[in-house]
Chains A and B, each alone.
Chain A
């Protein structure tokens, strides 16, 4: 019987700090022996090994018993944890955005944009891990500092409710009149776009005469770009008409994102084109055209990088919003 008890105490002792081990085990031994004695008295005989084993099993696994004797420890305590969680939640989308913009800029400047984006995606988990590690370490440091030097200031009490920002309009739906005006403007824009190939001066104005006098013409890629813009505007028009009939913020925002993604695709097509103006007669003009094409390509690349960044930001906001609406729906 004693052998089993000593083995149990030895197992518990493995997890106890050396400083208090002997004292704790002696007390535990005394209490367990008293319990054994009590049961033996009840039964009128010494306990069998199986009965002692059952008693020890009820008392608890050695590691759990030992842990209860240790001081309560936490890397980030309950007072600081909400701030830690808030920082992670607020900071992570910003990390994603900055990383996406930097990588998108790098990708559009690189020879192979697709390969560069693939590499960026593969590298992202380590960036996210680094962010989590840094934030966690900062808060662990704060926890230790606060434990060592408890805050005596009135921080957290000196705030003024009068300084709270006004209620945001974000959750409010636009009025029917606003939505109707939006449909009309988008409709006019679409008809204007349809008219441009037949009446180019609607787009270029007096610049049309200058363009016609130049020994250069537009490359066929502009037609593809034009068609994409027409289709995108039409999609927007359809979406806005649908919003006029039935307003649902979540799916409207979802569809708007799809359209935004198609817009990014259109820009990507133009980035790949590289030739936007072609010589039409005077071959000596070809050298200047090359630098113009290069400048226009750079412009499209910058626009693409900004669009990708904005798309990711909107996706993150929709995602966050979905979580909030989901939580509200559960209430």
Chain B
């Protein structure tokens, strides 16, 4: 049975590991347009659950950085803010995916013996 400090350390490391990956997932998912709630559902459906309180501010931050664009539009009689990848975001995503694939390949080699 895992002790409390071990689980605590694991949890903190897991969060660190997920932080960067979530940004990549959000950018990837926003190649097609979404508003906050449907984006969260789409990510969760593909196995990457993310807290609302983390996702919505993250969308704002990525928009401030110029990686996303957003527009308010009415859908189902409600105003919603739709996000999509900007041109700059598309470029950055390409670079990030290449980086991710490099890390993934290296890790697969390193962890092969495990």
Interface residues of A (CB under 8 A from B): 24, 26-28, 30-31, 33-35, 38, 59-60, 64-65, 68-69
Q: A31-B52, A35-B37 are in contact. List 13 more A-B contacts (CB 8 A).
A: A24-B60, A26-B72, A26-B81, A30-B36, A30-B78, A30-B81, A31-B36, A31-B37, A31-B56, A34-B37, A34-B78, A34-B80, A59-B53
Taking A33-B78, A34-B80 as contacts, is the C-beta distance between A27 and B56 under 8 angstroms?
Answer: yes
B53 touches A30 (CB 8 A): no
| List of A residues within 8 angstroms of B47 by Cβ | none
- In the complex, A189→B26 CA distance in Å? 80
| List of B residues within 8 angstroms of A27 by Cβ | 36, 56, 81
| List of B residues within 8 angstroms of A38 by Cβ | 37
Question: Which secondary structure dominates chain B's binding surface?
Answer: helix
- Set B38, B52, B54, B79: member contacting A26, Cβ < 8 A: B79
Taking the closest CB of chain A, its distance from the CB of B55, in whole angstroms, is: 9
Taking the closest CB of chain A, its distance from the CB of B23, in whole angstroms, is: 15
- In the complex, A34→B79 CA distance in Å? 11
B57 contacts the other chain (CB 8 A): yes
- Set B52, B54, B57, B79: member contacting A30, Cβ < 8 A: B79
Q: Mark B38-55, 1 if CB is under 8 A from A, else 0.
A: 100000000000001110
Taking the closest CB of chain B, its distance from the CB of A1, in whole angstroms, is: 15
| List of A residues within 8 angstroms of B56 by Cβ | 27-28, 31, 68-69
Taking the closest CB of chain B, its distance from the CB of A116, in whole angstroms, is: 49
- Set A24, A26, A34, A65: member contacting B53, Cβ < 8 A: A65
B81 touches A34 (CB 8 A): no
Q: Can you list 5 A-B contacts (CB < 8 A)?
A: A24-B60, A68-B53, A68-B54, A68-B57, A69-B60
| List of B residues within 8 angstroms of A35 by Cβ | 37, 52
Question: Which secondary structure dominates chain A's binding surface?
Answer: helix
Taking A60-B53, A68-B53, A68-B54 as contacts, is the C-beta distance between A30 and B80 under 8 angstroms?
Answer: yes
Interface residues of B (CB under 8 A from A): 35-38, 52-54, 56-57, 60, 72, 78-81
- In the complex, A59→B79 CA distance in Å? 20
- In the complex, A34→B38 CA distance in Å? 9
| List of A residues within 8 angstroms of B72 by Cβ | 26
| List of B residues within 8 angstroms of A64 by Cβ | 53
- In the complex, A26→B36 CA distance in Å? 12
| List of B residues within 8 angstroms of A28 by Cβ | 56
| List of A residues within 8 angstroms of B79 by Cβ | 26, 30
A34: nearest chain-B partner, CB-CB? B37
B70: nearest chain-A partner, CB-CB? A27
- In the complex, A69→B58 CA distance in Å? 8
- In the complex, A27→B73 CA distance in Å? 11
| List of A residues within 8 angstroms of B54 by Cβ | 68
| List of A residues within 8 angstroms of B36 by Cβ | 27, 30-31, 34
- In the complex, A35→B72 CA distance in Å? 18
| List of B residues within 8 angstroms of A60 by Cβ | 52-53
- In the complex, A324→B53 CA distance in Å? 42
| List of B residues within 8 angstroms of A59 by Cβ | 52-53
- In the complex, A227→B36 CA distance in Å? 85
Taking the closest CB of chain B, its distance from the CB of A106, in whole angstroms, is: 50
- In the complex, A60→B53 CA distance in Å? 7
A27: nearest chain-B partner, CB-CB? B81
- In the complex, A33→B75 CA distance in Å? 13
| List of B residues within 8 angstroms of A26 by Cβ | 72, 79, 81
B59: nearest chain-A partner, CB-CB? A27
B35 touches A30 (CB 8 A): yes
- In the complex, A64→B57 CA distance in Å? 11
